[in-house]
């Protein structure tokens, strides 16, 4: 199946001369949830803004459902929904009108039943007649989401949807994402919360300094880059790793009271059995043994660190 979003060799240099995107290639499949992780300034918002037709690319091409986002921007805008980071809302309009108007702006026929459903889902129904300027920051964020959903986009971009929101909104948001996914909507979200990506995404892309470092199936990524460490706590401290254990590349931790062994979870053989028997042969007395699995956060920090 052709990807719903296809990004080919996308570059962006701002007027200042700053190159925010340096040749990004990425295909997004219909119905998937893709989380884009990257440090501040990596180029996430720039990329999303180009796909959504808000920022002009300097080079390369993006298609959405086969339509070019520059040449056919009217078509692609009908397909795409965007929940932006910043709040740009008309302070003197009511919640209901703002959301209903957003649907009209995208060329869709009025559908008050749908608008009611969206507002109820986002706990905004009792605020439907309130003016936006009377809403709290969290409520306004809910309105931004309702606006994007009002015209039933096939592809939804969420730019840091849960940055600075409370627990209730975060919960509602993920429920909504699940519901949208079930109805076949493709969702691309950027986040700084790695555990969030770990929880809900099908694939994870890592972007840094305008380049995609990798895009992987989440499970495969964890499997491929996931490492484990085995910590062997010793009854008496050691100063150096004995020669007989050199092949395990051990580190010494806890001021000599622990031997630390790193191993790949994807490897066929972990080497643990050999290590433990070699340690026993050296006559060490053990206090405890424990293992730690690297998290997506460790993987991310390592990747971004390597690219510096």
Q: Which residues bind ligand ATP (CB under 6 A)?
A: 14, 16, 18, 20, 38, 40-46
Nearer to ligand ATP, 132 or 173 (CB): 173
CB of 52 to ligand ATP, least distance (A): 13
Distance CA 55, CA 38 (A): 19
The secondary element (H helix, E strand) that includes residue 10 is: strand 5-13
Nearer to ligand ATP, 20 or 51 (CB): 20
Q: Strand 80-83 to strand 155-159: parallel, antiparallel, or no bridges (unpaired)? A: parallel
CB of 114 to ligand ATP, least distance (A): 31
Distance of CA 104 to the CA centre of its chain: 30
Helix (H, G, I), strand (E, B) or coil at 214: strand
Nearer to ligand ATP, 49 or 150 (CB): 49
CB of 214 to ligand ATP, least distance (A): 16
Nearer to ligand ATP, 131 or 301 (CB): 301
Residues 6 or more apart whose Cβ sits within 8 Å of residue 71 = none
Q: Is the dihedral of CA 51, 55, 56, 59 positive or negative?
A: negative
Distance CA 156, CA 149 (A): 8
Distance of CA 284 to the CA centre of its chain: 45
Nearer to ligand ATP, 42 or 200 (CB): 42
Instruction: Tell me the Cα Rg of the chain.
Output: 25
Q: Which tokens in the block code for residue 189?
A: 């979200």
Nearer to ligand ATP, 40 or 273 (CB): 40
CB of 77 to ligand ATP, least distance (A): 20
Nearer to ligand ATP, 103 or 141 (CB): 141
Distance of CA 98 to the CA centre of its chain: 28
Q: Which residues pair with residue 5 across a beta bridge?
A: 28, 64
For 83-117, letters b (16+ CB in 10 Å) and e give bbbeeebeeeebbbebbbebbeebeeeeeeebbee
Q: Which tokens in the block code for residue 243?
A: 């020669």
CB of 261 to ligand ATP, least distance (A): 36
CB of 294 to ligand ATP, least distance (A): 23
CB of 104 to ligand ATP, least distance (A): 29
CB of 230 to ligand ATP, least distance (A): 35
151 DSSP 8-state letter? T
Nearer to ligand ATP, 209 or 224 (CB): 209
């Amino acid at each position: 199946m052709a990807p719903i979003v296809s990004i080919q060799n996308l570059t962006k240099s701002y007027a200042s001369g700053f190159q925010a995107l340096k040749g990004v290639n990425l295909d997004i499949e219909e119905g998937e949830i893709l989380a884009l992780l990257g440090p501040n300034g990596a180029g996430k918002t720039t990329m999303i803004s180009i796909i959504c037709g808000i920022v002009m690319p300097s080079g390369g091409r993006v298609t959405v459902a086969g339509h070019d986002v520059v040449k056919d921007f009217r078509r692609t805008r009908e397909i795409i929904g965007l929940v932006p980071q910043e709040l740009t809302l008309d302070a003197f309009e009511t919640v209901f009108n703002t959301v209903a108007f957003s649907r009209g702006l995208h060329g869709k026929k009025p559908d008050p039943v749908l608008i009611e459903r969206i507002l109820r889902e986002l706990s905004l129904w009792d605020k439907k007649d309130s003016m936006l300027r009377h809403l709290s920051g969290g409520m306004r964020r809910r309105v931004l989401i309702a606006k994007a959903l009002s015209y039933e986009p096939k592809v939804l971009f969420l730019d840091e949807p849960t940055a600075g929101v409370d627990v209730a909104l975060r919960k509602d948001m993920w429920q909504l994402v699940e519901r949208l996914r079930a109805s076949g909507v493709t969702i691309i979200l950027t986040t700084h919360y790695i555990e969030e990506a770990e929880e809900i995404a099908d694939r994870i892309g890592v972007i840094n300094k305008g380049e995609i470092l990798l895009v992987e199936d989440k499970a495969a990524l964890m499997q491929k880059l996931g490492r484990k460490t085995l910590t062997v706590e010793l009854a008496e401290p050691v100063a150096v790793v004995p020669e007989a254990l050199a092949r395990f590349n051990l580190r010494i931790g806890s001021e000599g009271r622990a031997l630390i062994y790193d191993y790949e979870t994807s490897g066929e053989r972990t080497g643990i059995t050999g290590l433990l028997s070699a340690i026993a042969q050296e006559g060490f007395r053990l206090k405890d043994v424990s293992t730690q699995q690297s998290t997506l956060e460790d993987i991310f920090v390592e990747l971004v660190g390597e690219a510096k």
